[in-house]
A and B are shown apart, each in its own frame.
Chain A
Amino acid sequence: MEKFDVLDGIVAPMDRANVDTDMIIPKQFLKSIKRTGFGPNLFDELRYLDVGEPGQDHSRRPLNPDFPLNHERHQGASILLARENFGCGSSREHAPWALLDHGFRVIIAPSFADIFYNNCFKNGILPIVLDAQVVHELFEAQHATPGYRLIVDLQRKAIERPDGEDISFEVDEFRRQCLLHGHDDIDITLEDADEIRVFEQEYRQRAPWIFAATGS
């Protein structure tokens, strides 16, 4: 996983509440057996005017001129500004994969759905929860300022605004360390392999039926 430390990036708006994972990446694109290549289909139904299918040449598809990600001023954006309950719905990790593939490393919202929030950290994306009023102010500032940028500093747990003012944010310390160092969760857990084995031994006495072979 790519490390996350400080990011200075263009902000793009996604101004609707309850953005669900079907909206982030429609199901016809979940049939891939890879983790990459989902970027062109991010927000597919909002972004294009035609019906998206796997294997299309996206450069030839008609873009929806009303969709912010299609606007010139948001090209190259790496920070997504969003509303309440972002990422609700399914557990598909294809949603953060699509956001990452498109170039987003930070998502700022008043609240996130649990599974999506968790999936972001596993993929080097930093989801930041801010007070709804602060998010609203960011939407207004972003709207008023073409090329609006923010500096997200995970070391300091702070977002620096163009006027130099800081907005501090909270993030779980374990997840922060994993992101800062690009740690793989599995390696961290396997450091406790002996403890897992001890637990299993004790548990086997307590609940032997759990360990019955499934066979085939």
Chain B
Amino acid sequence: MAAQTLYDKLWASHLVNEREDGTGLLYIDRHLLHEVTSPQAFEGLRLAGRKPWRIDANLATPDHNVPSSIAERRAGVAGIEDPVSRTQVETLDENCAEFGVLEFTINDPRQGIVHVVGPEQGATLPGMTVVCGDSHTATHGALGALAKGIGTSEVEHVLATQCLIQRKLKNMLVKVDGELQAGVTAKDIVLAVVGVIGTAGGTGHAIEFGGEAIRALSVEGRMTVCNMAIEAGARVGMVAVDQVTLDYVKGRPYAPGPDTWDQAEAYWGTLYSDPDAHFDAIVELDAATIQPQVTWGTSPEMVLPVDGLIPAAEDYTDPTHRVAVKRALEYMGLKPGMAITDIQLDRVFIGSCTNSRIEDLRSAAAVVKGKQVASTIKQAMVVPGSGPVKAQAEAEGLDKIFTDAGLEWRAPSCSMCLAMNADRLGSGEHCASTSNRNFEGRQGYGGRTHLVSPAMAAAAAVAGHFVDVRVMVDARESV
């Protein structure tokens, strides 16, 4: 057999049939649902009188609209103050009950951001095809799964048929060799990648992240990298299975038990790209040269190392780029030539499907431990990605470190990543955010988002402006 990439293998093993026009019917192993992109799909099933094809394939949890305020959460769904948000969460509960879909409801200890919950519960596994009505579904590719975001019509299609009509993507390899410097994290890798290839650089491709620096990451770090594949235009991001993956999966609630573990492990061990497999595009980065990254504009590709200076529109030759940079500078209220470290911040957000796992919280806590949030910061919040992450952090005393330092400790939710619940930026406010998108208005009307790693967000909270976390000496060993 010809040498195959990881993506080729996953595609072939799930192909039900292939049509003459080149489209394939792809079998879907796991379907994750949340309240925002599913109501119209369930309604579609009802109107057509259809039933879900394989009910056990589905797992739901509310996350986008769920309040992060611990007080508001106590009363469950009924306690959601915004009536429109409440209706959406209630609708998910009703649909899951009606169709028999397993749901981790608002105050279930397993509830959380769907992309944190899936891997944590062992509900997403190596070798699976995983879909969800959310563009950050590539997160699950960190386990060596073929995971992609879909729209609501496709959510309905997967519910009804357990399949998707797909055209095979091209293969792209992003190879990051070398060793990261202390204080530089998975988030900095992926921001640097987006900076290099641009927000459309991966369009039409499945990106496999490989190389020594990716292998050296934990599964959580790999999730951070795969999570932002879409910010480089790619629906799919993946990392090959290795011992780190197997150790992560073993023993999780929905992972294979003793009866099938050996069979699963043997198969998962084949989930890597063959040495001479063909990639349509290869991008190489040296991890040692990656510095902590900060986005300055309104697209994730508008990113610089922390010691960078804000560019001018005239620095770009392409006219479309020039216009975009000019507009971004106006929106962000920044002047060309200004140092990134001179950007004064109003709020800090640590959370989101990109960076709300336990290692993210440990990294942020190590930076703020024994320090205080700057008096100029109006609000600094930490929103754990799931119930189990929250419980683990509390068991380690991280919540206390955060609250002692003046950060708010909150309940699992997508929160200020996209401001569908009450957490949002005021107009003109600058935020150091560990989320994934810095689009205009994303975190609130007129809000100005700067994407950074959890360690960089924590350092910014203490300083009141961006600062190179590597110079915060006592953070160096623990980040």
Contacts and interface: CB of A to CB of B under 8 A. Distances in A.
Q: Do A and B bind each other?
A: yes
Given A22-B442, A91-B37, A31 B65 contact: yes
A39 to B, nearest CB: 16
A211 B82 CA distance: 38
B85 to A, nearest CB: 6
A84 B200 contact: yes
B111 interface: no
B199 A54 contact: no
A189 interface: yes
Interface stretch (B144-152, B354-362, B386-394): B144-152
Nearest to B160: A186
A93 B350 CA distance: 27
Contacts of A51: 445
Interface in A167-216: 172-174, 185-186, 188-190, 192-193, 195-196, 199-200, 203, 206-216
A85 B235 contact: no
Interface string A97-137: 00000000000000101110011001100000000000000
A210 B267 CA distance: 12
Nearest to A188: B165
A91 B135 contact: yes
Contacts of A88: 199-200, 233
A195 B150 contact: no
A149 interface: no
A84 B299 CA distance: 13
B27 A119 contact: no
Interface in B346-369: none
Contacts of B240: none
A185 B165 contact: yes
B375 interface: no
B439 to A, nearest CB: 5
Contacts of A23: 439-441
B93 interface: no
Give the interface centre of B58, B149, B163, B235 by most chain A CB atoms within 10 Å: B163
B324 interface: yes
A33 B157 contact: no
Given A16-B323, A85-B200, A113-B203, A186 B156 contact: yes
Contact of A196 (B27, B87, B200): B27
A75 interface: no
Interface string B81-93: 0101101100100
B478 interface: no
How large, as a class, is the contact surface on chain B?
35 or more
A45 B441 contact: yes
A185 B256 contact: no
Contacts of A196: 16, 25, 27, 53, 161-163
Contacts of B153: 93, 119, 122-123, 185
A189 B37 contact: no
A45 B48 contact: no
Contacts of A188: 165
A22 to B, nearest CB: 5
A212 B162 CA distance: 15
Interface string B405-431: 000000000000011100000000000
Please indicate which of the listed interface residues A16, A32, A196, A208 has the most CB atoms of chain B within 10 Å of its own CB.
A196
A123 B157 CA distance: 13
Contacts of B13: 206
A114 B64 CA distance: 22
A53 B437 CA distance: 21
B256 A209 contact: yes
B161 A84 contact: no
Contact of B418 (A27, A114, A123, A192): A27
Interface string A23-55: 100111011111100000000010000011011
Nearest to B261: A209
21 contacts: A16-B323, A18-B200, A22-B437, A31-B88, A33-B91, A51-B445, A84-B200, A91-B135, A91-B137, A114-B203, A114-B234, A172-B21, A174-B21, A185-B165, A186-B50, A190-B160, A192-B25, A192-B163, A200-B54, A206-B13, A207-B264
Given A34-B39, A188-B165, 7 more contacts: A22-B442, A27-B420, A33-B43, A89-B135, A91-B133, A115-B150, A122-B154
